[in-house]
Amino acid sequence: MNSLYEDQDFGISILDTGYLRARLAASYLLVEQGHAAFIDTGTNASVRHLLSVLREKNIAPEQVDYVIVTHVHLDHAGGAGLLMQQCPNAQLVVHPRGAPHMIDPSRLMAGVEAVYGKTQTEALYGQVQPIDGERVIQAGEHFELDFQGRLLLFLDTPGHALHHFCVWDAFSRSLFTGDTFGLSYRHFDSAQGAFIFPTTTPVQFDPGALHASIKRLLELKPQHMFLTHYGKLSGDLAAFAEELHYLIDEFVRLVRLASEHGEQRHAFLTEQMMVLLLARLQAQGCSLSEAECRSYLAMDVELNAQGLEFWWDKTQAIAH
């Protein structure tokens, strides 16, 4: 395996953006007729790596036609502006709800700073670069993009975020799912296959919408799913979808249960979610130690709990 990237069939390559740890967040490079498109970019710190892969493949930055971001969370889109500066002919393709934040990232950054604080935000993401509105294509439901004769179809897929689309590449019968089809880290692969679980990060998680979006993805009868976190899933994709549906319902059950624990709500929810996921990992034949599993899961469990609690409080406020 080349350390810079993993080539797949159909001119698709998996690039490791290097965000936080190895094989946590991917960027995808599509090559068609000597032209390139990126799907998700990682952060500013990832851009040098993306450009070096282009160089390895003898593709000039001028040959990059599109920078596509599945949604505007910064592990997916934080590097888009900087990458666009290096690729003078590229157009950004983004969900209509995400477009304003790519053109003027100040509100997006303020939101991130509210969660992480200014110092850590700066360390993780640097200065997110604005993108000229004239270079931005807004891709709503059923938008079709002709990438050098290769049709890319965009599906509006709320649930993880309202500014999220998935990209259907008919040629390879593949879906680029961003965060809609959950997380599947290669560290957890076992003889029985891959482990998968949903991502319910704040502030737009919506379980009903996520169930519906996952169903829609399966209706296309894809051969492959390319997850930003991380890499390719093939084989019995319906079984992965079933597991996601099951875990979304379990997460909702847990946050309801946790709401009875007052000040201990967050601690209760994170530990119950961790225990649930560890049990699924064990059933799945994962050979890592519990400590290793906990360490790989810790960040997502924390973010998932925050997103579930945010959703729960919002639903309760509407109900009363």
User: Rule CB under 5 A: which residues touch Zn ion?
Assistant: 73, 179
Nearer to Zn ion, 65 or 79 (CB): 79
Tell the smallest beta-carbon distance from residue 305 to Zn ion (Å).
15
Indicate if the alpha-carbon torsion angle 266, 248, 160, 147 is positive or negative. positive
Contact 271, 304 (CB under 8 A): no
320-to-149, 227, 313, 316 alpha-carbon distances in Å: 52, 38, 11, 6
Tell the smallest beta-carbon distance from residue 136 to Zn ion (Å).
20
- What residue number has its CB nearest to Zn ion? 73
Whose CA is closest to 254, among 189, 198, 195, 210? 198
Nearer to Zn ion, 73 or 95 (CB): 73
Nearer to Zn ion, 61 or 202 (CB): 202
92-to-2, 14, 32, 99, 184 alpha-carbon distances in Å: 28, 19, 17, 9, 27
Tell the smallest beta-carbon distance from residue 122 to Zn ion (Å).
20
Tell the smallest beta-carbon distance from residue 56 to Zn ion (Å).
28
Nearer to Zn ion, 65 or 75 (CB): 75
Tell the smallest beta-carbon distance from residue 228 to Zn ion (Å).
8
Nearer to Zn ion, 178 or 222 (CB): 178
Nearer to Zn ion, 76 or 232 (CB): 76
Tell the smallest beta-carbon distance from residue 269 to Zn ion (Å).
19
User: Which residues partner with 168 through β-bridges?
Assistant: 153, 175
Structure tokens at 99: 């477009």
- The owner of tokens 């100040």 is 106
- The edge-to-edge listing of strands for the beta sheet with 165-169 is 144-147, 150-156, 165-169, 174-178, 224-227, 231-233
Structure tokens at 67: 């920078």
